Amino acid sequence: MYAIIETGGKQYRVQEGDVLTIEKLDVAEGDTVEITSVLAVSKDGKLTVGTPTVSGAKAVAKVLANGKGKKIIVFKYKAKKNYRRKQGHRQPFTKVVIEKIEA
Asked if residue 70 has pLDDT above 90, the reply is yes
- Could you tell me the pLDDT band of residue 77, with boundaries at 50, 70 and 90? very high
Categorize the per-residue pLDDT at 103 as very low, low, confident or very high, splitting at 50, 70 and 90: confident
**Average pLDDT score over residue span 63-87:** 97
**pLDDT computed for residue 57 by the predictor:** 94
pLDDT at 41: 95
- Structurally, the chain folds into a number of domains equal to 1
State the residue range of the domain holding 68: 2-102
Instruction: List all residues 6 or more positions away from 89 whose beta carbon is below 8 Å from its beta carbon.
Output: 71, 72, 74
Residue 101 to residue 41: CA distance in whole angstroms: 9
Rounded to the nearest 10°, the torsion over CA 5, 6, 8, 14 is 20
**Cα–Cα–Cα angle for 25, 54, 42, rounded to 5 degrees:** 95
